[in-house]
Structure 1
Amino acid sequence: MLRASVIAMALVALVAGCAQIPRTSAVKEVGSISEQDSGLGQVDFLPSAPQNGATQEEILKGFIQAAVSPQSDYGVAREFLATGFRSKWNPDASVTVDTGSEREYSAEGTDKQLLTLTPEAFVDAGGSYRTAESSTDIQQQYSFVKQGGQWRISKAPNGVIIDSSRFPNVFEAHSLYFFSPDFNYLVPDQRWFPNAPASLQTRIVKELVAGPAKWLAGAYVTAFPQGSQLTSDSVTVTGGQADVDLNSTAGAVDASTVARMQLQLSQSLASVAGITDVRISIEGVPRQVSNDAASQVIQDPSVDTNALVERAGKFGLLSGSNVTEIPGISSMVEALKPRAVTLSADHRTAVVSGDGGNWLVDASADQPRHIDARPGVIAPTLDPAGYGWSATSSDPRDLVVLGPSGTVETLTAGWADARSLLAISMSRDGTRLAALVHTDEGTDIMVAGVVRSSSGKPTSISSPIDLGQVPGGTALSLTWLDELTVAALASTSHGDTSVDVQTIGGGSDVQPGPSKGASIGPVGAAPYYWVLTSDGSLQWPRGAGWQQRIDNVQLIGQQQGKP
């Protein structure tokens, strides 16, 4: 996990025109083919070429298996295609992830095969991952022709099909980095690309220059001007240095913008093995880069390692068995008889759900300010610009936003098929709003981009993405763990609880929760979350179970960072 201090280290090298890229983990070793499904990391899958005399179905099965390997531009997979179709098939157009065990093949006439499968997820041409919204089967048709007496595929859908057990071994997750609209935060957009070392850095740079995913447009901004492109079809790496040569459009900007472009490049390429430096040039001419404009950029703000709690009537940070109250904040929070609290990164502002609705507490003010007095308000959330956000369970689309100056706005959220809203939680960089949305099918985790003006004022909420249904019975609570991860606490049908840790732009990991779990909150060290039970026990996971940290806790608060 890259923190703000790591960003500062990377920026030291920008003055010389090359950004030293920090590493967050060791390079993963390539496993053998027998380790393909063992979860040991990225491996090379060695597919078989087409066999003489193979039937149409055998050719189709062989093609799908071979398309799991991106090596040599899917060279083996293309051997299953008719000569005139090989160069037309585009494997990068999409990825369909399925179980692999429920594929059905059927003949249609004498020269066609129909494949039926149940999708679990999709990856689009830009590498953006989304969970399948339905378990309904999809069908794909393939046409065949004989060449040299052997069946070959003459027409096929673009893209590849891969089973979910192989997907994380063949595709790698890489975060593309953009900026918040005020350029204060570096923010991630996770993508998935084939494990093809020769072309991976080129794919990352192309997608970075193309801009953020559609649902993040407006919430994220890029330093690359519109029309920026690579001057060639590859990013070369020599001696660990990635040379990124851009067209003149990209160069028609001031020095601070070039510095931001290079920061985006260096952090987006940080996860590529073998790259330690990035040099940016315009039409072959290296650019000298200053770090002045980017030196204060924050990435992935951390929170305190102490829980934010109310215990025995005192609100603050838990230290041992004592609660350290927060100057200017704690007394006002305590007076509101809080049910939920979110505290700002500088510990000068908080939003509170308490007597009379939802409130905004400011350490520089004498009294709290009302955000929302509607009946049925849920726990409010807070963004780094000082705006308090509130909603009611029965009116999931209308969000009331109170600004630092006291102005109140209502913004509309397009939660799909929403029947009610259970929780909202703002990312620590203020660019995304996560929610627990109850639909006819269950409760889903959804995330939307927050579009802001240059001054930081929220102006709209983008169309959300659905990260999937929270497993278990009833969703209870939601929190952000880091820049890409949220966690939802849910009660199961048997009275137990579960914790669903969901990566935005990736999959999820569901773990058993503690008995009587009621709410979840963040912590600045692994495992990055606490759970508070309904009888006041603050617990965290230890080994295969849960361990009590302390008892007599009335609430666990949300933290948006630390001073």
Structure 2
Amino acid sequence: MSNKTTKVTKVKKVLSAVAGLGLLAGCSTLPDDTNPEAISSYAPAPSGQEAPTPTDGQPSDLLLRDFFTASAHPLRNHQAAKRFLTGSMQGRWQSDAPTMVLDRIDIASDGPGDDSKITYRVRGNIVGTLGVGGVFDPQYSAFETSYEMQSVDGQWRISNLPNVVVLDRQDFVGTYRARNIYFPDLNGRALVPDRRWIYTGQQSTAASLVSLLVAGPQDRLKKAVRNLIPEDATAQVANDDEGDPAVHFTGLQELSPDARRLLAAQVVWTLAGSEVRGPYELTADGTPMSDEMHGKWLVQDLSQYDPNVQVQAPLRAVSGGDIYQQDGTRAQKLEGWLSQQYVESVALSPRDEIYAAVTGRGDAPRQLMIGAKGDQPVSSVQADSLTRPTWGLDATSAYVVADGERITEITRNPETGAVGERQVDSSTMRMVDGNEKRISVFRVSHDGARAVMIVNGRVYVVTLETTDDGTKRLGAPVEIGHAVGDTAVSADWSDDGSVLVGTRANDAPVWDIEVDGSYSQQITGRNLSAPVVSVATDGSKIYVTDANALMQFDVTSEESRFWREVPTMQGKRATPVLAD
């Protein structure tokens, strides 16, 4: 029986020490003076880098570069950036227009200039756009436009520019941070992260986070999560008399006690995950948020909603059609129905240890079989090919892709073990480029709200939306793996919500990619040989199957520099299996 614990890992810290930096960008378009839901101040002072200002006698090209740096500070309608414009242009420039993040900003003069005017061509590659509420939309396309400058009283100023905010991604390292806003899944059993970018110069991180909660989930998530806060509700964030954060809601009269507790979980885990320490005072319309809690809330009071919880189960591996479970210093072959047919791939449910196994080999059809290790399995989907199965939040639903295109949800009755099949509406796949769109990998996130898929070697994330009749539908696919191109072979979810990707590229065999596509990081490939056909992680180790063996990398040790074979599977080429 698998149990769950919360574990703090050093994955990002260690990987940063051994890997190169990839795509990094992020921003919030929610400036400090934006007040969508009557949010008051909580923190005493802003943080972050200071915006540059024009200096006397500054050369035109350097002034233009400082303008782009100042554009990363959105306060007061980009007042810092407007200091670099002529007086007339300050009133005409629409700084609330689309915001683009470039991998770099190259500046070169466009034709001859003189002491009074000059034009520059600005070039770069767009890595993403920034939407309302700090939503990052990944993309990759060329950017090129002109900026005209003129001398005003002997000082260069920008006299003509496009109505767009252009940002160099390096400016985000010191001025923006990614934060998770949490919303409950449709069944109210888990918290789903909604990744946003927050400007670090805000006076109050807590107020910014709560304002985003009140504003609701981003569009891509709206049909996969619940929004408990009514449209006319407001919130105020302040310090209480003891200096602890206090959030006071109004307009929650219609919320049930269960909904209020779920809202408390949203607030507490959102704040705690962004280093706003509790305990937390929460009120609704002047009374405690919940009748059962008359004091302040701690994360321990809402541990059942912990979004960082990890399923703790021993490593299993598939090799030569058999499943092995790691038992100390040896690997033991699993018996029962799992040993009576050739297992090509398998998924283990996060609860109850239910196996979903794809059986068959060679030219024979593939069959999905589902059941506990000691029970009689139930047969389900059959096709010429099946992807590795994937479980949702628990053992009541699993997913598989048949013949690279038909996505099926398999529902399972936990009492009887009976299964049913429902086709997933994948009509949004038409938005993916290419004629023949073959899905080779489909893996559902731990909270059941999203899936990562590989289509023709490219990495996409989709939301699993629920329709009015209860069936599933894919949201719009978003390509997050521009850094890996079409080299992706395998993918799975990390415990922190990012995506591990294995590729067929020897120089970059494993990547860690954030769910919004804002950040890609190459993980060390020392002692790996591409292709990496399988990836998995339990928060302390990363497991991959390369061209030779089942390999592991200890992410909790800062001394780790090489991938090593899993000792219990030496001599066998195997694929890792961890509980979904």
TM bracket, shorter-chain basis:
0.7 to 0.9
Provide the aligned length of Structure 1 versus Structure 2.
Answer: 510
CA contact (8 A) 1:172 1:192 kept: yes
Paired AA for residue 289 in structure 1: S
Q: Does 1:137 align with 2:155?
A: no
Q: CA deviation at 1:372?
A: 2.6
CA contact (8 A) 1:145 1:153 kept: yes
CA distance in 2, matches of 1:88, 1:258: 46
Q: Does 1:475 align with 2:488?
A: yes
CA deviation profile, 1:269-317 (whole Å, cap 9, x unmatched): 224455434333446x253425699663252342336321135875243
CA deviation profile, 1:337-368 (whole Å, cap 9, x unmatched): 11111100124322212214141321299543
CA contact (8 A) 2:391 2:398 kept: yes
CA contact (8 A) 1:314 1:323 kept: no
SS at match of 2:433: coil
Paired AA for residue 288 in structure 2: R
CA contact (8 A) 2:483 2:520 kept: no
CA distance in 1, matches of 2:67, 2:547: 54
Partner of 2:461: 447
CA contact (8 A) 1:240 1:276 kept: no
Q: 1:99 to 1:123 in 2, by over 3 A?
A: same
Q: CA deviation at 1:374?
A: 1.8
Paired AA for residue 579 in structure 2: Q
Task: For 1:6-25, list aligned pairs within 5 A.
Answer: none
Task: For 1:542-561, list aligned pairs within 5 A.
Answer: 543-550=560-567, 551-553=570-572, 555-561=574-580
Q: Does 1:68 align with 2:81?
A: no
Give the % identical residues: 19
Q: Under a length normalisation based on structure 1, what TM-score does the superposition of the two structures give?
A: 0.77
Q: CA deviation at 1:175?
A: 0.6
Partner of 2:125: 118
Q: 1:168 to 1:59 in 2, by over 3 A?
A: closer
Q: 1:516 to 1:97 in 2, by over 3 A?
A: closer
Partner of 1:520: 534
Q: 1:465 to 1:273 in 2, by over 3 A?
A: same
Paired AA for residue 344 in structure 2: R
Q: 1:472 to 1:362 in 2, by over 3 A?
A: same
CA distance in 2, matches of 1:96, 1:187: 27
Paired AA for residue 520 in structure 1: S
Q: Does 1:390 align with 2:400?
A: yes
Partner of 2:433: 417
Partner of 1:260: 262
Q: 1:60 to 1:536 in 2, by over 3 A?
A: closer
Q: CA deviation at 1:454?
A: 9.5
CA contact (8 A) 1:240 1:274 kept: no
CA deviation profile, 1:197-216 (whole Å, cap 9, x unmatched): 40433322222222222222
CA distance in 2, matches of 1:215, 1:476: 26
Q: Does 1:203 align with 2:208?
A: yes
Q: 1:81 to 1:470 in 2, by over 3 A?
A: closer
CA contact (8 A) 2:367 2:381 kept: yes
Which structure has the higher relative contact order (CA within 8 Å, separation 6+)?
2
CA distance in 2, matches of 1:306, 1:325: 13
SS at match of 2:383: coil
Partner of 1:217: 222
Using the TM superposition, name which of 312-321 and 182-191 deviates more: 312-321
Q: CA deviation at 1:66?
A: 2.0
- 5+ residue gaps, structure 1: 8-22, 29-38
CA deviation profile, 1:142-191 (whole Å, cap 9, x unmatched): 67798778665577666643323332222101111111111111111111
CA deviation profile, 1:477-528 (whole Å, cap 9, x unmatched): 2221214111111122x5x76101111123111124312554334342424x
CA distance in 2, matches of 1:313, 1:144: 68
Paired AA for residue 435 in structure 1: M
Q: Does 1:350 align with 2:342?
A: no
Q: CA deviation at 1:217?
A: 1.7
CA distance in 2, matches of 1:373, 1:200: 51
CA contact (8 A) 1:473 1:491 kept: no
CA distance in 2, matches of 1:65, 1:277: 37
Partner of 2:314: 306
CA distance in 2, matches of 1:158, 1:290: 51
Q: CA deviation at 1:560?
A: 3.5
Partner of 1:11: none
1:80 to 58, 76, 84: 84
1:45 to 23, 45, 49: 49
Partner of 2:34: none
1:531 to 534, 540, 544: 544
- 5+ residue gaps, structure 2: 14-23, 25-45, 294-300, 413-417
Considering only aligned residues, what root-mean-square deviation do their CA atoms show, in Å?
3.9
CA distance in 1, matches of 2:543, 2:162: 46
CA distance in 2, matches of 1:173, 1:530: 26
CA distance in 2, matches of 1:358, 1:402: 13
CA distance in 2, matches of 1:240, 1:444: 48
Partner of 1:464: 477
Partner of 2:40: none
Q: Under a length normalisation based on structure 2, what TM-score does the superposition of the two structures give?
A: 0.75
SS at match of 1:540: strand
CA contact (8 A) 2:397 2:411 kept: yes
Task: For 1:490-505, list aligned pairs within 5 A.
Answer: 490-492=503-505, 498-505=509-516
CA contact (8 A) 2:492 2:501 kept: yes
Paired AA for residue 246 in structure 2: D
Q: 1:273 to 1:377 in 2, by over 3 A?
A: closer
2:455 to 437, 454, 474: 437
CA distance in 2, matches of 1:317, 1:372: 26
